[in-house]
Amino acid sequence: MNKLVDRFLKYVKIDTQSDENSKFCPSTNKQLNLANKIVDELKNIGLQDISLDENGYVMATLPSNIDKKVPIIRFISHMDTSPDMSGTNVNPQIIENYNGEDIILNKEKNIILSPDDFPQIKNYVGQTLITTDGNTLLGADDKAGIAEIITAIEFLVNNPDIKHGTVKIGFTPDEEIGRGADLFDVKKFNADFAYTVDGGELGELEYETFNAAEAKINIAGRNIHPGVAKDKMINSILVAIRLNSMLPENQKPEYTTGYEGFFHLLDFKGSVDNTSLKYIIRDFDKKKFEEKKTLMTNAVKFLNSKYGKNIIDLEMNDQYYNMKEKIVPVIQIVETAKRAMIELGIEPKIFPVRGGTDGSKLSFMGLPTPNIFTGAHNYHGRFEYVPVQTMQKAVEVIVKITELFAVE
């Protein structure tokens, strides 16, 4: 367990924040700092076919140690952290034997990780937690996954009595900005299927995701002195507010759960003269997803017709689709992961992913890829934490999955 923790702490201290405004891959060169460190580790462990390509994708192979042919499986995590919060100078804190009470992350700023706000933390009384210091995110999304995969593979290398087929591992850049699989070389990857290790709490096992689109909107107003503005001014801020009001109030993230989709206003910058908005649109059901996009398009058309010209420009693009469509035909890969958890005394928790994962695009690229837990909570913010014992369980699940495919 100490090696797992040491590895994780080393990774989170490397800033790998991605940048959605960059046109390059990786979107930030600093992601290569972690990629190079991972490559060195994989060489020391003794893996084969280790590569780091020009786009920042790391791949490696653990050869089979059995004679019979079994499926080639891959485990994947991403190296970048969210662009929404700083990943610079991450200073993780270790809370041993957690007592179920408030954790003071930052005394100076009065930043407290409290079970009043995050009641799930009480599930980990008596365990060891790794938290932030209140100034940055932690980066367990997805450096916990990276640490768990490499620790599991190292365990298999050091325990050759555990029989397994060929196991491949891959680490991607830019997952947090929706590009993690864009330049992924599935042919080079050469696997029958894969698992992303990028989920949350103990037992999570997911093979359904949203259908996803983004909408970028620009509104060109007309700024006139307010004293003489009658019948001349077009206040783009008010147009934006009206556009937003035309979307269903109850279809916002804060009002939805389970299989419910939403419109999420991510960004709003405005003046009388010009306002820009950015939305993401999500739904598990493809028909409802298309209806949401049509509603957005029709709202823009209505307002443009009201003003008699195209003052609103809408750019809408699909981002990824529900991977269930590609995984159901090979549902045995989900069943094997479920069996691995049960044999380890872990209760599988199968529910839809209300977020993105590299597995969505990879599944549609021909590599069916469900998702398993890392143990982390409160991703992307200063209240992020991960229980060490759950991280160890993730390692054990990865090892057990490889065992099961060797004997089935």
Q: Is 269 buried (19+), middle (13-18) or exposed (0-12) by CB count in 10 A? A: exposed
Co-location of 353 and 365 in the same domain: yes
Please list, in sequence order, all residues whose beta carbon lies within 8 angstroms of the beta carbon of residue 388, skipping any fewer than 6 positions away.
1, 4, 5, 127, 128, 129, 130
Co-location of 182 and 61 in the same domain: yes
The pLDDT, as a whole number, for residue 178 is 85
Given CA atoms 337, 196, 60, 88 in this order, what sign does their dihedral have?
negative
Q: What's the half-sphere exposure (Cβ side, CA atoms, 13 Å) at 96? A: 1
Using the structure block, give the residue that is written with the tokens 């979307």.
Answer: 247
Co-location of 253 and 315 in the same domain: yes
The pLDDT of residue 1 is above 70: no
Contact present, 50 and 59 (Cβ < 8 Å): yes
Q: What is the mean pLDDT of the chain?
A: 96
The pLDDT of residue 175 is above 90: yes
Boundary residue ending a domain (262, 295, 320): 320
Question: Which residues constitute the domain of residue 104?
Answer: 2-209+322-407
The pLDDT, as a whole number, for residue 408 is 74
- Average of per-residue pLDDT across 6-19: 97
Q: Catalogue the active-site residues.
A: 80, 175
Co-location of 205 and 225 in the same domain: no
- Average of per-residue pLDDT across 310-319: 96
The pLDDT, as a whole number, for residue 356 is 73
The pLDDT, as a whole number, for residue 59 is 97
Co-location of 18 and 143 in the same domain: yes
Co-location of 124 and 202 in the same domain: yes
Number of domains in the chain: 2
- Average of per-residue pLDDT across 193-209: 94
What CATH number is associated with residue 165? Answer: 3.40.630.10
- Average of per-residue pLDDT across 154-165: 97
Instruction: Please report the beta strands in 118-158, taking only residues with DSSP state E, as ranges in sequence order.
Output: 129-131
In angstroms, the CA 282 to CA 337 distance is 27
Q: What distance lies between CA 55 and its chain's CA centroid?
A: 19
Tokens of 363: 């599944």
The single-letter DSSP state of residue 126 is T
Q: Within the chain, what is the greatest distance between any pair of CA atoms?
A: 85
Please list, in sequence order, all residues whose beta carbon lies within 8 angstroms of the beta carbon of residue 276, skipping any fewer than 6 positions away.
216, 217, 218, 219, 267, 268, 269, 270
Boundary residue ending a domain (320, 338, 368): 320
Contact present, 161 and 66 (Cβ < 8 Å): no
Q: How confident is the model at residue 189 (pLDDT cuts 50, 70, 90)?
A: confident
In angstroms, the CA 32 to CA 49 distance is 18
Q: How confident is the model at residue 188 (pLDDT cuts 50, 70, 90)?
A: confident
pLDDT in tens, 65-123: 999 999 999 999 999 999 989 999 999 999 999 999 999 999 999 999 999 999 999 99
Q: What's the half-sphere exposure (Cβ side, CA atoms, 13 Å) at 322? A: 20
Please list, in sequence order, all residues whose beta carbon lies within 8 angstroms of the beta carbon of residue 83, skipping any fewer than 6 positions away.
17, 18, 19, 20, 176, 177
Q: How confident is the model at residue 236 (pLDDT cuts 50, 70, 90)?
A: very high
The pLDDT, as a whole number, for residue 94 is 97
Co-location of 194 and 228 in the same domain: no
pLDDT in tens, 372-388: 999 999 999 999 999 99
| CB neighbour burial string for 109-123, b if at least 16 within 10 angstroms, e if fewer | eebebebeeeeebee
Looking at residue 60, its amino acid is A
Q: What distance lies between CA 303 and its chain's CA centroid?
A: 35
What CATH number is associated with residue 221? Answer: 3.30.70.360
How far CA 334 is from CA of 150, 204, 357, 393, in Å, comes to: 21, 11, 16, 17
The pLDDT, as a whole number, for residue 190 is 85
Co-location of 115 and 260 in the same domain: no
Contact present, 194 and 367 (Cβ < 8 Å): yes
The single-letter DSSP state of residue 228 is G
Looking at residue 186, its amino acid is V
In angstroms, the CA 12 to CA 8 distance is 6
Nearest to 386 by CA among 203, 206, 201, 205: 201
In angstroms, the CA 56 to CA 26 distance is 6
Question: In the chain, what percentage of residues exceed pLDDT 70?
Answer: 100
Boundary residue ending a domain (320, 349, 379): 320
What's this model's pTM, rounded to 2 decimal places?
A: 0.89
Co-location of 46 and 137 in the same domain: yes
Q: How confident is the model at residue 56 (pLDDT cuts 50, 70, 90)?
A: very high
The pLDDT, as a whole number, for residue 355 is 79
Co-location of 247 and 361 in the same domain: no
Contact present, 76 and 196 (Cβ < 8 Å): yes
Co-location of 222 and 272 in the same domain: yes
The torsion angle over the Cα atoms of residues 280, 284, 285 and 288, rounded to 10 degrees, is -20
Co-location of 248 and 299 in the same domain: yes
